[in-house]
Each structure stands twice: as structure tokens, then as C-alpha cells.
Amino acid sequence: MAKKKTEAEAPARPITVEDHKELNRRNTEKKRTTVNDVLKFPVGDQFENDLTELLAEAAEESGETIAIALVDFDNFLHINTDFGIDEGDRVLIDTGRYLKKHAPKEATVYRIGGDEFGIIFKGSMEREEIFLLLNDLRNGFDVKTPDGAAQSITIGMATAFVDASRCAELVRKADGALFRAKRGGRNRVVMAREEKLIPKTSHYTQDQLQRLTALSKEEGIGEAILLREALDMLLKKYDA
């Protein structure tokens, strides 16, 4: 009699959009911590859910600016290690309150998870005005650890209909800007930029490329965008 495969023995398969949503749902539940209870910010994948709705409602011709910022607390890990988890929570709470206090009224602040926050801007502010506001917010950041040491934040920003028109692509652009800001030394604000794509055709089978073409036509989404979204999911899966 054939041995029944366990979940652990099941053949590996590529992560799907539904897998990604389920991971987000589970992570959202885990993120309902003391920090979230105090701040009462929308958490987890609510950031992308709200952004998706805004992009669907606001046509490019409306004249309103929709932009996002991903805010990362620099070198947060040492705070929990050196001062304890309770102090780490206090620092995150103070950071959230600081962002909320200094964000414009038409902006919404989210706790995405860990030491990362998100902000969605919607209104009459121009892209450059938002960038300058974020830079002022970074410069004025006054949260400190118990030893009095000043701390810093790093921010990646992307603007709808300029950098991307779809939620996943816009978040990916902001995340890329955040990554470049960290790699450039942290404690700075970086805007999304135009990307140079490198052909990867030889990395895929003919069957995969044919299915990709069919999916692109069915969904009305460019193949390059679909591939970038898939790669982003893979990087998130392995926390790369």
C-alpha cells in the first residue's frame, strides 16, 4: 500500500497570490501586540487593501495626489537586545505617535509590522511637497533610548500614476527606494526611480513563458509587471 504523503513530504510548488494573502493574514494576527493595542493604527495588509481601493477610486485625471511612504526604524534590533522587549515596545509606540502627530490630516499612518510603518497620502499636496515633509519628519525625529542616544528613521517613497498605477507595483517601488536608502547609509528619504529591466528570458521554460503571456492577456497586465510581482512575493517569502 502506498504511503500517504504528509504535508512536509508534499512536493514543493511556487508560491501563489493566494498563498501570499494567507501569509499576510497570519502575520496580521501575530502583529496584534501591545504596540498595536496602544496605537490603534490599521495593521498588516490593511495598508495594501486601502491603497488598492484608493487607486481604483481615484483616476489619474482627478488631480489628487496619492503617494505612499514606508518608514523603517534604523537598527531597531539592538534596542530589544540591550534594553528589553518592553523598552522596544515603548520606542515603537513613541515612533508611531510621532508619525501620527506630524503627518498631515489627509494622511493615514499604518503599522505594517515589526519596526516598519506605512503612510498613505491622498489630497492636494504635490509629490515634491510630500518628499520635503517626509524629510522634515526624518530630521525632527526625537525618539531616544533610555541611555539618551538619538535614533533615526529611513523612508522610501513612491507616487501613484508617476511611479506605478497598481498597488503591488507601487509598494514594490517604495520598498526598493527604502532598500536603496538603507544601503546608502540610512537616516534619509529616497524617492522611487525609473528602473532599468534586465531580460531574464533564458531563466524560464517555454511553457512558463506561454502561460505568462496568456495570463498577461487575460488580466490586462504587462508581463514584466507580473514577473516583478512574483519575484517580490518570493523575496518576501524568504525574508530577503
Tell me which residue of 42, 55, 25 sits closest to 118, measured CA to CA: 42
Buried b (16+ CB within 10 A) or exposed e, 43-67: bbbbbbebbbebbeebeeeeebbbb
Tell me what pLDDT residue 8 has: 45
Termini Cα distance of the chain: 42
What single-letter DSSP state applies at residue 147?
Answer: T
CATH 3.30.70.270 at 29-195, yes or no: yes
Tell me what pLDDT residue 3 has: 45
Radius of gyration of the chain (CA): 20
The three cell numbers locating residue 61: 485625471
Tell me what pLDDT residue 202 has: 59
**CA torsion through residues 143, 124, 127, 106, sign:** positive
Place of cell 504511503: 3
Tell me what pLDDT residue 218 has: 84
Positions of the chain with pLDDT lower than 50, given as ranges: 1-11, 28, 31
- In terms of DSSP H, where are the helices of the chain? 17-30, 34-39, 46-57, 77-83, 85-102, 127-139, 167-183, 206-219, 223-237
Tell me what pLDDT residue 178 has: 95
Helix 206-219 crosses helix 223-237 at what angle (to 10 degrees)? 110
Torsions phi, psi of 43, nearest 5? Answer: -125, 165
Residue 101 and residue 90 in contact, taking contact as beta carbons nearer than 8 Å = no
Specify the 3-state DSSP secondary structure of 194: coil
